[in-house]
Homo-oligomer: A and B are copies of this chain.
């Protein structure tokens, strides 16, 4: 049983008064007057989501960034967050680094820490973030239409390659490590895509798995081409050497956005690219044949599984 089946089976029940989108997208949506609240929660556990001995700065950054990335995937504007911090002991040096980094990222995205809980135990961090949206504007996973193009932001596989190297006792380059430890949540991109994208998700569990969520929720298929995937020079070299397309196709932790949009929005997307100084790449098209066709991929890749 995977995470999604688990949620479906045990944590989906009828909430007659809940006017929104419950369990099953990047964020839950709750209607509050003419606004919507987008709410997301993510837990990071030492040894699972970051290596033992990751700096407190990088841990704090990532814990907040992954939540901001979920808000980004809905197009929401960050509002506030709470922090549940479990620590084996109080280490002031560690806390200083953690809080400075948390504050810096929070201020960068104008999101406010409103409260939290501290407990003693194995190191883990749960952040719950809330953003706002104009009603009915959210970027959902369910809006992709046949003929829409499929896009991703920036490059794919950098974080996965860093992790691949760490597991083999290799030292990743600074730029790969930065992508692994300090992924840039695409908050501005998400908000810019409101009214333009037909569906959106952040690539935290790997492109193949996350794009498949869009396909399932939208009841469509897609065809993408590995040769169209945007790659950094290091990931391109790794693939050339190893034929290991999996870092780009199914490697997690990229926190880029994957979205779909009708062809007529190509101009608008180019304007966003220029305005945000980023690269957005068309990697494929939505089809009416269910499932995800990945042209040029030999064999299978295993996307991230929560269990």
Residues on A facing B (Cβ under 8 Å): 1, 3, 6-7, 9-11, 13, 15, 17-18, 20, 22-24, 27-28, 30, 32-33, 35, 39-45, 47-49, 79-80, 82-84, 86-87, 89-90, 92, 95-96, 98-99, 102-103, 110, 112-122, 124, 126, 128, 306-307
Contacts and interface: CB of A to CB of B under 8 A. Distances in A.
A163 to B, nearest CB: 16
A217 to B, nearest CB: 15
B45 A121 contact: yes
Contacts of A99: 10-11
Contacts of A121: 45, 47-48, 122, 124
Contact of A48 (B44, B120, B124): B120
Q: Closest 7 A-B residue pairs measured CB to CB?
A: A28-B114, A28-B115, A10-B99, A128-B128, A45-B121, A126-B126, A15-B112
Nearest to A107: B13
B306 A120 contact: yes
A244 to B, nearest CB: 24
Given A45-B121, A84-B42, A7 B116 contact: yes
Most buried by B among A47, A90, A117: A117
A114 B38 CA distance: 10
Contacts of A113: 11, 13, 15, 22-23
B23 A114 contact: yes
B20 A103 contact: no
5 contacts: A1-B90, A7-B116, A27-B115, A41-B84, A121-B124
A18 B28 CA distance: 22
B96 A10 contact: yes
Contact of A33 (B9, B30, B33): B33
B17 A112 contact: yes
B115 A45 contact: no
Given A80-B18, A86-B124, A121-B122, A115 B41 contact: yes
A19 to B, nearest CB: 10
Nearest to A132: B32
Contacts of A112: 15, 17-18, 22
Given A41-B126, A87-B307, A126-B126, 4 more contacts: A23-B114, A23-B116, A39-B80, A124-B124
